[in-house]
Each structure stands twice: as structure tokens, then as C-alpha cells.
Structure 1
Amino acid sequence: MAIYYKGIFFLTASAFLGEGIEFVVNMILARELGTHGLGLYMSILPSIFFIVLLASFELPVSISKFIAEKEERYHRNILYHAMTITIIFTSILFLLATIILPFIPVFNAYHPYVRWIVMILIPVISFTSVARGYFMGMQNMGKIAISNFLRKTVQLAGLFFLFRFFTFNGEQSLLIALCTLIGSEIIVFVYLVYMFIIQFQHLKRHPFSNMNRKVVRKNLMAVSIPTTGLRLFSAFTGAIQPFIIKGALVRSGMAEGMATEQFGMLMGVAMSIGFFPAFIAHSLMVVLIPAVSKTHSQKDYSSLQKMLQQVMKLTFVYGVIAVTFFYFFAPELTSLFFKSDTSAVFLQMLWPFFLFHFFIMPMQAILIGLNMIKEAFFHITWSIIISYALILLLGSRPEWRMNGIIIGMNTSAVLLALMHYLAICKKIGVSIFMKGFIQNPTER
């Protein structure tokens, strides 16, 4: 358990610094792009993240899980087969993107170069994912922490330098913002792949055992395919969320330009502030996947129950403190971005969304570690269906508008957190109040 706590410490410390930098990045973007430009930036991000998700093929999750469950003598062979899969998959995806990307209409409102710089992410993310998955599986969270901090630092430095010494129009400023985002991923790629090569050379000097190629492929695909499907669904629904929200606002009678600005304040200001403490949840998520996988493979249910207890207590403490602070200091925090009372109201109304998402992230990692990806997919599906139904129903009514949209978002977070929690409790044999532990629950 010591390496588990050490990993959490490294990731949390670096993520805290990274989130602080991200906060400054969003402030720069808000001031340089304006309300409309920030709305466009936030609208295209889900589509970019969708492509990133495809490129990663959730290899960090599948590789980290497999590495954590197997002895070190098998690691070299696992990585060799993982690289082979990555090369084949990346080549196919890059070819498909070259053919399809020019016809995707979501990019029409942006600079023509945006389509092509996004394609650079495909090989970058794919090969970075192998290195990231290996270090996660080995519980070597120091390198993951450095890479996460490096990404934010490079993005901030790029934005500060370019906007400080050069002048751009609105379209060019948006292009620069996206280029710095993608450039930071390239720097992370160089760092992680370099460290991975050094580690792989170290593995080659030690005795190793081969595993059947089909067995390795089956084990990696058994996690990557359903997890990718889960994340693809989330990314797809996230990519269409801007259009659903803005569409509902337009149907309520709001002008399209105003709807874009409202969305920008929701995602670029309220979300940026509200998700600031999520670096703790994300750190827990990264550490929990290999830790839970290894513990579950050993059928150590008492340790799993202890992990759940610790995660829930930690999340409750920092989550309640965070949302309370955001609620009472919303005007002061949002004024760092825009002088607008609207974004402060959004931040205050979204407190259930933020609080329950702090629980959702580590619980989703536990579900993956427990081989309950199918259950997680069903939970997300139902929560999104209900959320979007409420957004369209309430958000399109003139008397509700953004209030109705926020109600839909809050409902989704509460429902998803409860479904995840109940499923985990049932799987590891603990009551919903974490009392009455049952030894070896699968043998009941």
C-alpha cells in the first residue's frame, strides 16, 4: 500500500500545480479570445478530445491493468505486442482521418489549418499512451506527474509568449490557442517516449518470459475495446453537448450569438473554476486502476473495501470544502475571467455537479479495476439520456433557459455517482454505509 499512497502524493502535488497553471491559461484565453471566441474554443474542444480518445485506444488503462497483474518477467513481451498493435491501429486511424476529416462540418467555423494540426495528435497520442500505460502499471507515478505538469507549463508559456509579443485577429487567436494545446502534447510525447525507451532498454538486460501473442492481444483488447467504447460514448455525447445546449437556448428564443457566449461562460469560466479541485480525483483515478486491478486479481476484498472507504472519505472532505468555497466566493472568482454576474450564478448553481463528479472519477477507476466496464457503460448511458432529455425539455423553455440546462447537468452527476457507488458496494461485499463487511463476496 505504500507505493499506492506515494503515487497519490506525487500525482496530487503535480496536478495541483498543473491545475493552477490551467486556471491561468483559461484566464489568458478568456481575455484574449473574448466571450464569443472562448465559446468557440470550448465548443471545438470536445471534438478534439474525441479524436484524442480514438488515438489512445485506452491503451493506458489496458496496459497498466495488464502490467499490474503480471510479473515483471512478462513486461517486455507485453510491451512488444502492445507496440505492434499501436503501430497497426495508428496507421489505419491516420489514413481514415485523412479521408474523413475534410468533410466534418464542425471544423467549418474555424481556421482551415485546425483540421490538419489536429491530425498530428493521432500518432502523438497513440505512442504516448503505451509509455503512459507502462508507467501507470509499474506505479511509477513520478513520470506521469512530470508529464502532466509539463503539458500545462508548455501551454502557458506558449500562450504568454505569443499573445505578449504578437498581435492576432480573432480567427488567428483561436488558431494559436489550439496550436499551443497540441504543441504541449508533442512535448509530453517526447518526454514520455524518451523515458520509456530508457526503461525498455533496462528490461532487455533482465531475464524475461514470453507470452502467447494471442493471449496478450486478447487481454489488452478485453480492456481496451469496452473501455474505448465507454469513453467514445462519453466523448461523443460530450462533443454534441455544445450543440444540444446552444440549440436548446436558441429554441427558447435566445439569439445564437448570445447562446454561444452563455455556453462560453458556462464551460470556460464556471467549469474551469468548479473543476479545479478535480486534480485530486484525477490523481486517484490514475493510481486506482492498477492498484484495484492487482488487489482484485489477488481476491483481497478487505483491501478493496479499505480503498473504497479511504477514497470516499477523502473525496467528501475536500469536495465539500471546495464547493462551499466556490458558492460563497463565486463573484470574486469569476471576475478573474469576466466582469459578469451571470457566470457567478452558473458556478453557484452547479455545486452538485462538481461535488458528485469528484466521486465519479475515482469510482469509475474502481469499476474498471474490478472488470465492471459494462456496468459503467450502462450507468453513463442512462445518466446522459436523462441529462440531455432535461436539457432539451427545460433549457428550451423561455422561463428556464440556462437554469434548466444546469438542472439537467446536476441530475446527471447525482444519478451517475449513485449508480457507480451501489455497483461497487455490491461487487466487493460492503453495505452502502460501508458497514458489515463480507469476506470473499463472490463466494456468497
Structure 2
Amino acid sequence: MAIYYKGIFFLAASAFLGEGIEVLVNMILARELGSHGLGLYMSILPSIFLIVLLSSFELQVSISKFIAEREERYHRNILYHALTITIVFTSILFLVTAAVIPFIPVFNTYHPYIRWFVLILIPVISFTSVARGYFMGMQQMGKIAVSNFLRKIIQLGMLFILFRFFSFDAESSLLIAVGTLIGSEIVVFFYLIYSFIIQFQQLKRQPFSNINKKVVRKNLMAVSIPTTGLRLFSAVTGAIQPFIIKAALVHSGMTDALATEQFGMLMGVAVSIGFFPAFIAHSLMIVLIPAVSKTYSQKDYPTLQKMLQQVMKLTLLYGVAAVTIFYFFAPQLTSLFFKSETSAVFLQLLWPFFLFHFFIMPLQAFLIGVDLLKEAFIHIIWSTIISFALILWLGSSPEWQMNGVIIGMNTGAVLLALMHYLTICKKIGVSVLMKGVMSKATER
């Protein structure tokens, strides 16, 4: 448990600094791109993240879970087979993407170089995921923390230098915004791969035992495939969400330009500010996946119940404090980006969306750790269907417009968090209110 808390501290501390830098990054982007350019930037990000997701194949999750559940003498062999799988998978994905990406219509309104910048991400993300998975499984969260911070500070530095000393037109500015994001990932790749090589050389000097290649592949695929499916569904829905929101707003009577600007204020300002405290939730998620996996493999239900209670209390504590600050200081916070009352109203109305998302991330880590990926997938499907239906229905109404969109987003987050929580309580044998435990505690 000491390693568990130490990992959370390192990740949370670095993530706090990283999120502070992210706010500065978004402030620079808002100033240099303008409201319309920021809307275009936020619209292309989900598509880029979709490529990132496919490239990672969620290996960081499957490898961290497998490493945490196995003795150290098996780690060298696990990593060897994992790298073999990664090389084959990356080669296939790179060739397929290179053939398909020129015909993907979402990139048509952007600078043509953006397509090829995204292509570079495939091998970078794939091999970085192997290193991340190993360090997560070994609870070496310091390296993960440094890599997360490094990504943000490099992006900020490149944006500041380029926009401070050079002048660009609107299209080139957008290209620079995307290029710095990808450039920061390349720097992280070199850092993690260098650290991984050093660690792997140490493993080669230690006694080791072999695991059958089929067993390793089966265990990795058993987590990677459903987790990738889960993330893929979320990424696809995230990629089409901008178009659904803007289509609903245009149908309600807004012009296309105004709908793009309002989406930019929603995602680029309100959501950027509201998700600032999510660095704690993300840190919990990274630490919990290997910790819960190892504890569950030992059938230690009392410890699982204690971990859940601690996570829920911590999330409630910082979550309520955060959304309270956002609600009462929304005008002051959003004015850092734009002098607009609209984005402040968006931030205030989205408080349930932010609060319940702080719970969703660590709860998903629990679901992965206790082998409930199928249930997590079903929950996301249902919450997304209901959320999108409300966005289209209410957002298309001239009376509701963006308020209707926000109601749909809030409803989806609340529903997803509740389904995750109730399923976990049933699995590990704890009452919903956590006032007592049920029979699982005695199953060991």
C-alpha cells in the first residue's frame, strides 16, 4: 500500500504542474487561433486521439496488468513477446493508415501536412505504450510522472517560441498547434524508450523463467482487445461528437460559424478549465489498474473494498471543492481565455459533467482490474446513446440550443458513473453506501 500511495503522489504532483501548463497552452492557442480557429483545433483533436488509441492498442493497460500479476523472473520474457507483437501490429497499422489517410474527409479542411504528422504518431505511440505498461506494472510511477510533465512543458515551450518570434496565417497557425502536440509526443518517446532500454538491460542480467508465447499473447490480447474496443468506441464517439453538437446547433437556427465558435468555447474553454482537477482522477486510474489487478488475483476482497472506499472519499473531497470553485468563479476563470460571458455560463452548467467524470476514471480502473471489461463497455454504450439522443433532441431546439447540449453531456456522465459504481460494489461485495460489507469478504 505504501508504493500505491507513493505512486499516486508522484503522478498527482507532476500532473498538477502539467495541467497548469495545459491551461497556459490553451490560453496561447485561444489568443493565436481565435475562437473559430480554436473550434477547428478542438474538432480535429478527437480524430488525432483516435489514431493514437489504435496505435497504442492499450498495451500499457494489458502489459501493466500482466506484469503486476506475475513474478519478476517472468518479466523479461513477457516484454520480449510484447515487443514482437508490437512490431508486427505497428507495421500493419502504419501501412494501412498510410494507404487510407489521404481519403479521410475530416482532414480536408486542414493543412495537408497534418495528415502526415499524424502518421508519424503510429510507431511513436506503439513503442511508448510498451514502456509505459512495464513501468506502470512495476509501480515505477516516477518515470510516468516525468513523461507526462515533459509532454506538456515541451508543447508549451515550442508554442511560446514559435508564436513569440514568428508570424503565421490562420492555416499555418493551426498546423503549428497540431505539430507541437505531436512533437511533444516524440520527445516523450525518446525519454521512455531510453529508460526502458536501461531497465531491460538490467533484466537480462537477472535469473528468468520463460512463459509460452501463446500464453503471453492470450493474456495480453484478453485485456488489449476489449480495452481497445472500449477506448475505440469512446474515441469514435468523441470524434463524431463535435459534428453532432454543431449539427444540432445549426438545426436550432445558429449559423455554422457561430456553432463552431460556441463549440470552441465549450470544449476549448469550459471543458479545459473543468477538467483541470482530472489530473488526480487520471493519476488514480494509472496506479489503480496494476494495484487492483494484483489484489484481485490474490482474492483479497477486504483490501479491494478498502481501496474503493478511499478512492470514493478522495474523489468526493476534491471533486466537490473543484466544481464549487468553478461555479462561483466562472467569469474570472473563463476571462483568462476570452472576454465572454457565454463560456462562463457553459462552465457553470457543466458541473455535474465534471464531478462525475472525476469518479468515472478510477472506477474504470477498478473494472479493468477485476476483469469486468465487458460490463464497462456496455455501460459506455448505453450512456453514450442516451447522451447523444438528448444532445440531438434538446440541442436542435431553438429554446434550448447549447443548454440542451450540456444537459445531454451531464446526463451521460451521471449515468455512466452510477452504472460503474453499482457493478463494482456487486463484484467485490460491498454495500452501495459502503456502511458494511457482504459475503465476498469471507471468500478467501
Q: Read off the aligned partner of 2:252 and give its amino acid letter.
A: S
Q: Map of 1:5-404 to 2, 5 A cutoff?
A: 5-404=5-404
Secondary structure of 1:440's partner? helix
Q: Read off the aligned partner of 2:300 and give its amino acid letter.
A: D
Q: Over residues 198-251 of structure 1, what are the superposed CA-to-partner deviations in whole Å (9 max), with x where a residue is unaligned?
A: 000000000000000000000000000000000000000000000000000011
d(CA) in 2 for partners of 1:80, 1:260: 47
Q: In the TM superposition, what is the alpha-carbon distance from 1:435 to its structure 2 partner?
A: 2.0
Q: In the TM superposition, what is the alpha-carbon distance from 1:437 to its structure 2 partner?
A: 1.1
Secondary structure of 1:120's partner? helix
**TM-score scaled by structure 2?**
0.99
Aligned Cα RMSD in Å? 0.9
d(CA) in 2 for partners of 1:266, 1:370: 35
Higher deviation after alignment, 274-283 or 430-439:
430-439
Kindly indicate whether the alpha-carbon contact (under 8 Å) linking 2:302 and 2:441 is maintained by their aligned counterparts in 1: no
Q: In the TM superposition, what is the alpha-carbon distance from 1:440 to its structure 2 partner?
A: 3.0
Q: In the TM superposition, what is the alpha-carbon distance from 1:436 to its structure 2 partner?
A: 2.0
Kindly indicate whether the alpha-carbon contact (under 8 Å) linking 1:62 and 1:224 is maintained by their aligned counterparts in 2: yes
Kindly indicate whether the alpha-carbon contact (under 8 Å) linking 1:302 and 1:439 is maintained by their aligned counterparts in 2: no
Aligned residues: 444
Q: In the TM superposition, what is the alpha-carbon distance from 1:352 to its structure 2 partner?
A: 0.3
Q: Read off the aligned partner of 2:118 and give its amino acid letter.
A: V
Kindly indicate whether the alpha-carbon contact (under 8 Å) linking 1:299 and 1:440 is maintained by their aligned counterparts in 2: no
Which consecutive unaligned segments of at least 5 residues does structure 2 have?
none
Kindly indicate whether the alpha-carbon contact (under 8 Å) linking 1:33 and 1:173 is maintained by their aligned counterparts in 2: yes
d(CA) in 2 for partners of 1:99, 1:441: 53
Kindly indicate whether the alpha-carbon contact (under 8 Å) linking 2:62 and 2:133 is maintained by their aligned counterparts in 1: yes
Which consecutive unaligned segments of at least 5 residues does structure 1 have?
none
Q: In the TM superposition, what is the alpha-carbon distance from 1:442 to its structure 2 partner?
A: 9.2
- State the 4+ residue runs in structure 1 displaced beyond 6 angstroms: none
Kindly indicate whether the alpha-carbon contact (under 8 Å) linking 1:60 and 1:134 is maintained by their aligned counterparts in 2: yes
Which residue in the other structure is 1:409 paired with? Answer: 409
d(CA) in 1 for partners of 2:209, 2:439: 34
d(CA) in 1 for partners of 2:420, 2:97: 34
d(CA) in 2 for partners of 1:24, 1:443: 50
Q: In the TM superposition, what is the alpha-carbon distance from 1:438 to its structure 2 partner?
A: 2.5
Kindly indicate whether the alpha-carbon contact (under 8 Å) linking 1:295 and 1:304 is maintained by their aligned counterparts in 2: yes
d(CA) in 1 for partners of 2:177, 2:208: 46
Q: Read off the aligned partner of 2:4 and give its amino acid letter.
A: Y
d(CA) in 2 for partners of 1:377, 1:442: 29
Kindly indicate whether the alpha-carbon contact (under 8 Å) linking 1:367 and 1:373 is maintained by their aligned counterparts in 2: yes
Kindly indicate whether the alpha-carbon contact (under 8 Å) linking 2:323 and 2:354 is maintained by their aligned counterparts in 1: yes
d(CA) in 1 for partners of 2:96, 2:406: 37
Q: Over residues 345-365 of structure 1, what are the superposed CA-to-partner deviations in whole Å (9 max), with x where a residue is unaligned?
A: 000000000000000000000
d(CA) in 2 for partners of 1:205, 1:439: 45
**TM-score scaled by structure 1?**
0.99
d(CA) in 1 for partners of 2:442, 2:339: 56
Q: Over residues 90-145 of structure 1, what are the superposed CA-to-partner deviations in whole Å (9 max), with x where a residue is unaligned?
A: 00000000111000000001001000110000000000000000000000000000
d(CA) in 1 for partners of 2:226, 2:441: 25
Secondary structure of 2:31's partner? helix
d(CA) in 1 for partners of 2:150, 2:309: 32
Which residue in the other structure is 1:440 paired with? Answer: 440
d(CA) in 1 for partners of 2:357, 2:118: 28
d(CA) in 1 for partners of 2:129, 2:349: 36
